[in-house]
């Protein structure tokens, strides 16, 4: 009887500790999220070329993963820098150097990065497997993606001090809670970016294998959103050849670049309320120009401003001046037919255009409470959906 009482007491104390830990970390995550949303600008990006040095990564018939991903990482960095010259871009490696997994995240943390992109290529025992996928750090369905996690995490076996990874353990309830809460602040942004990457891969006719959560050490210690991209299968002879070609590497880099550009514009617009954002490149180009050249650029920018401004959508509410809540659930660089089968089951589907990107919304509510009810239903199909507000047909 005494032993039973002690066991019960231990269980109660354990439950109390978990609840307390849950509350503390939740409050920490919430406070961090709130402060980060005010006038957010994405100023620093870390691009991580997986593997390197003594770690070749996956091995194909004609190449190593480490070389393919380094080329893609450099091409991606160059494209982003051309579009956003004021953005600080850091690489975890720029040559054939071995960087430990934990250090990759620490590079991003030390430099207060706003986003982290890790580039890899996949491998399978089956030679016919092909396609692209993107991963975020998380435990949901992580067991289904154990093969990828084990392969990407296996590098710790050749590191000099693997003891530092002892805390990375998803087998205990305490660590499960810690892992979930540490990622709660960043997982929505990570999934949003990963989804955009996969969308861009579909546009270049690559097989979309989806977005997944997995226990990836390289993403575990990040203090910011981050994704790991698997750009194709090196174990597939045809895909390996494509991944080693200049056209293939350019296509992968360009797909990730377009996704990042859309993500950057979207998150900054959401924070500042400025939905007619321009690249910093335009301001840089104005320097050292004569008056006539400046007038020409100003005229061109005025025309572009009209194109980039959020366009009106039909507002069906009887009270035109009333604030209307809608659910934004999809973005696309191409205009879609509102009668598309993809929209079946969604009510009052409409769209608006921002910076050449079409944003699709559904539902209509006059207050936040009703909007949240609609959102909960839409999220069953579109997990990264969120609430937006309109007045006089214009997003505010």
324-395 has CATH 3.30.70.1070 classification = yes
CA-to-CA distance for 283 and 235, rounded, in angstroms? Answer: 45
Note the pLDDT of residue 160.
Answer: 56
3-state SS class at 326: strand
Tokens, residue 276? 């007619």
3-state SS class at 222: coil
Mention every residue, 6+ apart, whose C-beta is less than 8 A from residue 109.
Answer: 221, 222, 223, 224
Note the pLDDT of residue 205.
Answer: 93
Answer positive or negative: Cα dihedral of 187, 208, 230, 212.
positive
The H or E element containing residue 395 is strand 394-395
User: Checking DSSP bridges between strand 324-332 and strand 350-354, what pairing results, if any?
Assistant: unpaired
CA count, 13 A, side-chain hemisphere, 237? 2
Note the pLDDT of residue 382.
Answer: 87
Radius of gyration of the chain (CA): 23
Assign residue 132 a region: left if phi > 0, alpha if psi is -120 to 50, beta otherwise? Answer: beta
CB atoms within 10 A of CB 23: 11
Note the pLDDT of residue 358.
Answer: 83
Note the pLDDT of residue 321.
Answer: 64
Each residue's pLDDT, cut to its tens digit, for the chain (396 residues) gives 544 444 444 444 444 444 444 444 444 444 444 434 446 789 999 999 999 999 999 999 999 999 999 999 999 999 999 999 999 999 999 999 999 888 898 999 999 999 999 999 999 988 999 999 999 887 654 444 445 444 444 454 444 555 555 555 544 555 545 555 555 567 888 888 999 999 999 999 999 999 888 777 778 788 899 999 999 999 999 999 999 999 999 999 999 999 999 999 888 876 555 544 444 444 444 444 444 444 444 444 444 444 434 444 444 444 456 888 999 998 887 888 888 888 888 889 998 887 567 889 999 998 888 888 898 899 888 888 888 888 877 777
Note the pLDDT of residue 161.
Answer: 57
Query: Are 43 and 84 spatial neighbours (Cβ–Cβ below 8 Å)?
Result: no
Tell me the H-state helices in the chain. 2-36, 65-83, 101-110, 146-153, 173-184, 187-203, 217-220, 237-244, 246-272, 281-285, 291-308, 368-378
CA-to-CA distance for 32 and 292, rounded, in angstroms? Answer: 47
Note the pLDDT of residue 73.
Answer: 97
Q: What global pTM score does this model have?
A: 0.59
CA-to-CA distance for 134 and 118, rounded, in angstroms? Answer: 10
3-state helix, strand, coil in the chain (%, to 5): 50, 20, 35
Domain with CATH 3.30.70.1070 in the chain: 324-395
Note the pLDDT of residue 167.
Answer: 52
Tokens, residue 193? 């970016």
Class of domain 20-269: alpha beta
Domain with CATH 3.40.630.40 in the chain: 20-269
CA count, 13 A, side-chain hemisphere, 74? 10
Note the pLDDT of residue 341.
Answer: 83
Nearest to 211 by CA among 266, 131, 91: 131
């Amino acid at each position: 009887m005494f032993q039973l009482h002690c066991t019960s007491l231990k269980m109660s104390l354990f439950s109390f500790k978990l609840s307390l830990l849950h509350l503390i970390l939740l409050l920490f995550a919430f406070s961090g999220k709130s402060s980060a949303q005010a006038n957010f600008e994405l100023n620093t990006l870390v691009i991580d070329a997986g593997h390197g040095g003594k770690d070749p990564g996956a091995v194909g018939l004609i190449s190593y993963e480490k070389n393919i991903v380094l080329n893609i990482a450099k091409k991606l960095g160059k494209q982003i820098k051309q579009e956003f010259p004021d953005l600080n871009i850091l690489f975890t490696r720029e040559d054939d150097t071995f960087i430990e997994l934990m250090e990759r995240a620490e590079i991003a943390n030390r430099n207060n990065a706003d986003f982290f992109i890790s580039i890899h290529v996949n491998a399978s025992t089956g030679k016919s497997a092909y396609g692209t996928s993107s991963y975020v750090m998380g435990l949901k369905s992580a067991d289904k993606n154990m093969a990828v996690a084990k392969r990407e995490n296996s590098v710790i076996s050749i590191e000099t001090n693997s003891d530092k990874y002892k805390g990375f353990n998803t087998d205990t309830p305490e660590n499960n809670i810690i892992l979930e809460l540490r990622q709660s602040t960043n997982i929505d942004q990570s999934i949003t970016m990963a989804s955009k990457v996969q969308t861009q891969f579909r546009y270049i006719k690559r097989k979309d294998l989806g977005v997944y959560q997995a226990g990836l050490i390289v993403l575990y210690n990040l203090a910011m959103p981050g994704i790991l991209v698997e750009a194709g299968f090196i174990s597939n002879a045809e895909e390996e050849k494509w991944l080693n070609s200049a056209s293939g590497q350019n296509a992968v880099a360009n797909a990730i670049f377009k996704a990042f550009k859309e993500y950057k514009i979207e998150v900054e617009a959401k924070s500042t309320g400025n939905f007619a954002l321009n690249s910093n490149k335009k301001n840089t180009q104005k320097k050292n120009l004569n008056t006539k050249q400046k007038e020409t650029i100003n005229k061109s920018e005025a025309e572009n401003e009209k194109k980039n401004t959020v366009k009106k959508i039909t507002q069906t509410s009887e009270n035109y001046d009333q604030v209307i809540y809608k659910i934004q659930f999809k973005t696309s660089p191409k205009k879609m037919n509102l009668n598309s089968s993809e929209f079946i089951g969604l009510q009052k589907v409409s769209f608006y255009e921002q910076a050449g990107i079409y944003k699709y919304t559904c539902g209509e509510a006059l207050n936040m409470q009703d909007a949240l009810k609609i959102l909960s239903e839409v999220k069953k199909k579109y997990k990264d959906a969120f609430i937006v507000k309109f007045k006089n047909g214009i997003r505010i």
